A = this chain, B = another copy of it.
C-alpha cells in the first residue's frame, strides 16, 4: 500500500464508500462495480476508482470489487481496526447526547468519560459513563487511556478546554463549539460547526426558487 498523504476529502469519501458497502453487504451482495456503486448511491464512478487506486489495486476486471475485501481494506486504511477511547468535555445536553450517540458505537470509538466544571454534575452517571471534574482531566485521561477528546462546551470556553486537553497529550480533538480555535502542531482538530451547516441551508433558502443548485 502506498503511504502518500491523502487529503481529508479523500478520507471523507472513503467513509462514505464504507457506509455504502455496509448497506450492500447487509443486502447479501458479494461484489459490486464502481459503476453500480456510483449509480446506486449517487456517487461518481471515476472518483471512486481514483480514490481506491491511491491505496492499491482492489478491483478485479469483469467482477468489480469484492465487497467484504474492500470493506476490510478501507477499514484498515481509516484505522478502524484500532480502538480509541473518547472523553467528552461538557456534560450538558449535547455532551450527554453524544455520550450515547449511535455514531460512536458504530465506529471504533468508545466514550469512556465525561467532564464538566459544574459541581452539580460531577459524579453523575450518563448510562455507564461517569462525569468527572474537568480539573482532573489529565489524571483521568491517563488512567482511562483516553486518546480522543470531544469538546461540547459553549463557545467562550472552547479554547481553554482545547488547550487543557492538548497539554494533557491528546492528539485528536473533535469540536462542537461554534468558535474558531487555534491548535498546536501535531494535533488534529476536527470542528463540527452546526451553525455553518445551518447557514448553508439559510443561503439555499434565500436564493430564488429554481436557482439553488448549490452542491
Contact residues of A with B, CB < 8 Å? 3, 5-8, 11-12, 14-16, 18-20, 23, 41-42, 77-80, 82, 84, 93-94, 96-98, 100-104, 106-109, 147-148, 154-155, 171-172, 174, 178-180, 182, 186, 188, 190, 192-206, 209-215
In the assembly, what is the distance between CA of A195 and CA of B86, in Å?
Answer: 14
Task: Using A79-B205, A171-B204 as known contacts, list a sample of 4 further A-B pairs with CB atoms less than 8 Å apart, ordered by residue number in A.
Answer: A20-B180, A84-B205, A97-B98, A103-B178
* A180 interface neighbour in B41, B97, B102, B196, Cβ under 8 Å: B41
**Given A103-B194, A195-B15, A7 and B215 contact (CB-CB distance below 8 Å):** yes
Q: How many copies does the complex hold?
A: 2
**Chain B residues near A8 (CB-CB < 8 A):** 200, 214-215
Cα A192 to Cα B15 in complex, Å, equals 13
Do residues B199 and A82 form an inter-chain contact, with CB atoms below 8 A? Answer: no
What B residues does A210 contact at CB under 8 A? 186
Residue of A147, A148, A182, A201 with most chain B CB atoms under a 10 A cut-off: A201
Q: What residues of B have a CB within 8 angstroms of the CB of A186 in the complex?
A: 209-210, 212
